[in-house]
Chain A
Amino acid sequence: MDIEGAIDSAVAEVGTALLGKEAQIRLALCCLLSRGHLLIEDLPGMGKTTLSHALAAVLGLSYKRVQFTSDLLPADILGVSVYNRNDGSFTFHPGPVFTQVLLADEINRTTPRTQSALLEAMAEGQVTIEGETRRLPRPFFVIATQNPIHQSGTYPLPESQLDRFLMRLHLGYPDPQAERQMLLNTTAGEDPEAALQRCLTPEELESCRAATSQVHVADSVLDYLQRLVAFTRERAEFAVGLSPRGALALLDCARTWAFMNRRQHIVPEDLQAVLAAVAAHRLVPSGDYAGDGHALVDLMQRSVDVIRS
């Protein structure tokens, strides 16, 4: 089976655990295949944890979960050195961050101090504890979940840190059909999560990365991308436009998306498919504009034509 087929089966496999959310699953996989961290924002009980767990399982990666609380300290994530009485030395006990997929559940419940410890790990792929730098396993993904910020007792992530997540996804309520299927499954006593099969080997994951970088980007696509980015920087509706990192993230994700769709080149739809997930959390509407990031993405997509006119 080729890699694309393996990806399709991974999507299908996760789909057995999280019903009726194929679009979000594809985007989440796209994010991980592009080596990016994922932020899932939704109300409790929408399947955020299920999705992240299932993703780790189908990719065959080690998985740890940290429930973020307001009294969580950086050491609780990174690990501590403990004095060993037998040989009179300090032994490092690695924290949950030493894993391949880390689920940071409700990341906005913890203090900025702990958040930033995690964010350093995300950006660098390594952590520094007591002056010693330790590399994290490869690949290293953080899947963070977040409650909508207007709930009480939360520390919303600042824009600069949101930018470190390649994508932000909303899951939303399942459609009635999928929900009924889910209800039936639980009454039958099945646990779909337990039965998940690994679909991609680490080698395939690595070659996927290589194949993605081979995807062709035509001049007109770059042109379209640049016009989209320029739009966010020029128009009054945007307080903060897309950064160069944001533009790069768009291109990366569009490449992976094209690859997942068995294409050797990017077409504008690829950009449009990932646009909302990649751009919405990086855009800040100006004070005069009533809409949020998603409204801005809509505005971008409506206003910038694929063909320059």
Chain B
Amino acid sequence: MSQTLAVGTLIPRNALVWIIISQFALLAPHLTRLPLWLVLVYLATAVWRILVFQGRASFPGRALRALLAVAGFVAIYLSYGNLLGLEPTVALLLVAFAFKLLELVKLKDAYVLLFLGYFICVIGFLFSQDLLLVLYALFTLVLVTTGLVALHRPREDRFRLGSVRLPALMLAQAFPLMLVLFFLFPRIGPLWTVPVKSHAAKTGVSDFMKPGDISTLSQSGEVAFRVQFEGDIPPKSGLYWRGLVFSVLDEGAWRSLRYNELPAGELRQPAVTPKGTPLSYSVLMLPTQQNWLYSLRYAEPEQRGILRTSDFRLYSPVEIEEQMQYKVRSWPATSLELELSAWRRQTELALPAQHNPATRELAQRLRRDAQDDAGFVDAVLRYFREEPFIYTLQPPLLDTQDPMDQFLLQTRRGFCEHYAYAFVVMMRAAGVPARVVAGYQGGEVNPVNRTVIVHQFDAHAWAEVWLEGQGWVRIDPTAAVSPDRIELGLEEAVAGEGSFLANSPLSPLRYRGVNWVNMLRLRYDALTYQWQSWVVGFDGEEQYRLLQNLFGSIRTPVFAGVVLASGALVLLPVAWLLLRRRRPPALPPEQALYLDFCEQMHKRGITRRPGEAPGSFGRRIALEAPALQQWANHVTTVFDQLEYSRDSGEPAAHRQQLAHLRQLLRRGPQVQ
């Protein structure tokens, strides 16, 4: 580029360094979601721009830039398979952000780049609103602001890390305003939905279950939800978080009943008489992109917008795309569905024909030996307990034709879904209504804030059996095989095989044995809970409630008043401080008059330079505008006399000179 640029429009070296640093810092939190070549793009553009700065390369021409832009689109299309969706769009933005560095010629370009940087700061929140990410975003905010400040520093400045102090201070000063905006800025609903669900975004238990599904989920140490109980926390063995009920065995996989499969009379939840004392708790769920909610047995939601299904689950009509908090009451002792309808009985007994003949035969034999259904359940559990079954995270694969025959009679190694599957098949084969329930079991009690943290590896599947006079009864066949799983959790249960979180060697959950690591993790989790429920959870509804509590009914003028008043409350003290500090002391009259002269000269096109002394300024005026020379000389001489000479001490002479100067200025130059 052969443009000649005024020095003032060039980007200082320091600013360039800070811009490149903040680009990499902004890229870092997205690394796990981005193709690796993007990092190379960032490195290449940074090196290129530095070479340009050193004069060893030139900016790309128009054709090359167009080519690069097209290449960026193509590469993202090849990496993601499409250009829409959240991740490809973010990748596109980040590629553009890198290429923009190659267009960084003038100050104007740097502004564009840095303001884009501010936008990229917040993009990470589309994926996660973790506390650490917030801290990191603040850090990048400081970096970007440092770049902005560096644009306005003298170009001879050397690079030093201390430069971040000023931007950090500036951001700290903006903090009160941020708080006001956080509480008062209207939460406008989204004008469009971000297509979050690209690939593998759904988390947690899915709506069908094949053997192996839950053991895969159990490899993850992520948090599924956190629960805060009012009152005591029930023992671990009672914490069966029901999420899904699988009533249909279809092509080797269990799935729930679809809404359209339910006959009209079965759509509503059967009437229930709650029994015993209720448990009150609130669940803070992380986004799953699914509809179902988790609760203990027989739950009634305490807020609107949550549905109850006919199999006693809670269901959200909208998919949970953001974290969600809901309050529930549960009566664990309640009997469910004492009367079973004919349709329900038939559904919960259905088994696909021609599969698992050996299992059926075994079930029917055990049923014949038992006195009643309850005795049969005991017999099956005893079978699991007494035969050499092994509870393992690494079960062998089963064939699709008769998986249960193979499992029960040959491999005998399985995870909870295998046992639940086998148990329900046996029940149904013997004519006892039964179904698989999936969700989470147990959880970790955080002693810091008394929440129960339920991780993905707590995912579990168990069974429900319908017994005459008792309704649906929870039976956990896994407990028969591995009582440790229920009493102590997965980690203890599979301690022997070393498979717990085998794929995440750095997860702090693996180091629970190290006391301080564990304490740190639990404290951080408690902090996260606070953060998630108070800050991330502060939505439009919460805001409305807060304002209503504070100001009664909310009308537009009241709201506008509150916004303006609190803004003023925050900004006025700052403004007052700044103004107070800046106000100069009153100038002596002759200096004020001289500044007046400078102003007049400025209007005539000659500006006194910073630090220029009156004498030098007078000589310059004589050179640059000879027509004004006489007047300027006169003014300068009189000012000189007044301000600097010994005679200025006499009051009478001083007054006279001052009047003279004033008159000179009023008259202005006598230009011929």
| CB <8 Å contact, B591 and A307 | yes
Q: Which of B8-63 contact A (CB under 8 A)?
A: none
Min C-beta distance of B406 to chain A, whole Å = 74
How many Å lie between the Cα of A268 and that of B616 in the bound state?
A: 9
- Determine if B615 is an interface residue (Cβ-Cβ < 8 Å): yes
- Determine if A269 is an interface residue (Cβ-Cβ < 8 Å): yes
Q: Which of B564-609 contact A (CB under 8 A)?
A: 584-585, 587-588, 591, 594-595, 609
Q: Of A221, A301, A305, A309, which contacts B644 at CB under 8 A?
A: A221
How many Å lie between the Cα of A295 and that of B154 in the bound state?
A: 12
| CB <8 Å contact, B612 and A306 | yes
Residues on A with beta carbons closer than 8 Å to the beta carbon of B585: 308
Against A, the Cβ 8 Å flags (1 = close, 0 = not) of B184-202 are: 0000000000000000000
Q: Which of B273-293 contact A (CB under 8 A)?
A: none
How many Å lie between the Cα of A265 and that of B584 in the bound state?
A: 27
How many Å lie between the Cα of A216 and that of B157 in the bound state?
A: 39
| CB <8 Å contact, A305 and B645 | no
How many Å lie between the Cα of A300 and that of B610 in the bound state?
A: 10
| CB <8 Å contact, A307 and B587 | yes
| CB <8 Å contact, B645 and A269 | no
| CB <8 Å contact, B156 and A268 | no
How many Å lie between the Cα of A308 and that of B591 in the bound state?
A: 9
A-B contact count (CB 8 A): 69
- Determine if B613 is an interface residue (Cβ-Cβ < 8 Å): yes
| CB <8 Å contact, A265 and B646 | yes
- Determine if B555 is an interface residue (Cβ-Cβ < 8 Å): no
Q: Which of A100-114 contact B (CB under 8 A)?
A: none
Against A, the Cβ 8 Å flags (1 = close, 0 = not) of B476-512 are: 0000000000000000000000000000000000000
- Determine if B368 is an interface residue (Cβ-Cβ < 8 Å): no
- Determine if B651 is an interface residue (Cβ-Cβ < 8 Å): no
| CB <8 Å contact, B591 and A220 | yes
- Determine if A129 is an interface residue (Cβ-Cβ < 8 Å): no
| CB <8 Å contact, A268 and B587 | no
Decide: A269 near B613, CB < 8 A? Known: A221-B644, A264-B646. Answer: yes
Q: Which of B302-346 contact A (CB under 8 A)?
A: none
| CB <8 Å contact, B643 and A305 | no
Residues on A with beta carbons closer than 8 Å to the beta carbon of B644: 216, 218, 220-221, 265-268
Residues on B with beta carbons closer than 8 Å to the beta carbon of A287: 158
Residues on B with beta carbons closer than 8 Å to the beta carbon of A173: none
- Determine if A119 is an interface residue (Cβ-Cβ < 8 Å): no
- Determine if B258 is an interface residue (Cβ-Cβ < 8 Å): no
| CB <8 Å contact, A307 and B595 | yes
Residues on B with beta carbons closer than 8 Å to the beta carbon of A306: 611-614
| CB <8 Å contact, A288 and B584 | no
Decide: A268 near B613, CB < 8 A? Known: A220-B643, A221-B644. Answer: yes
How many Å lie between the Cα of A46 and that of B644 in the bound state?
A: 38
Decide: A265 near B156, CB < 8 A? Known: A302-B611, A306-B611, A306-B613. Answer: no
Which B-chain residue is minimally distant from A267 (CB atoms)? B644
Decide: A218 near B158, CB < 8 A? Known: A267-B613, A303-B611. Answer: no
Decide: A269 near B615, CB < 8 A? Known: A290-B158, A303-B610. Answer: yes
- Determine if B411 is an interface residue (Cβ-Cβ < 8 Å): no
| CB <8 Å contact, B616 and A269 | yes
How many Å lie between the Cα of A307 and that of B642 in the bound state?
A: 14
| CB <8 Å contact, B157 and A290 | yes
How many Å lie between the Cα of A216 and that of B643 in the bound state?
A: 11
Min C-beta distance of A183 to chain B, whole Å = 32
Against B, the Cβ 8 Å flags (1 = close, 0 = not) of A271-309 are: 010000000000000011111000100001111111111
How many Å lie between the Cα of A110 and that of B591 in the bound state?
A: 51
| CB <8 Å contact, A272 and B616 | yes
Min C-beta distance of A307 to chain B, whole Å = 5
- Determine if B528 is an interface residue (Cβ-Cβ < 8 Å): no
| CB <8 Å contact, A305 and B611 | yes
Against A, the Cβ 8 Å flags (1 = close, 0 = not) of B634-654 are: 000000100111101000000
Which A-chain residue is minimally distant from B598 (CB atoms)? A307
How many Å lie between the Cα of A89 and that of B268 in the bound state?
A: 132
A sample of 13 cross-chain residue pairs with beta-carbon separation below 8 angstroms, ordered by A number, consists of A218-B645, A220-B588, A265-B645, A265-B646, A266-B644, A267-B614, A268-B615, A269-B613, A288-B158, A303-B611, A305-B610, A305-B611, A307-B595
Interface residues of B (CB under 8 A from A): 156-158, 160, 584-585, 587-588, 591, 594-595, 609-616, 640, 643-646, 648
Q: Which 6 pairs of residues, A with B, have the shortest CB-CB distance?
A: A268-B613, A216-B646, A288-B158, A290-B156, A269-B615, A269-B613
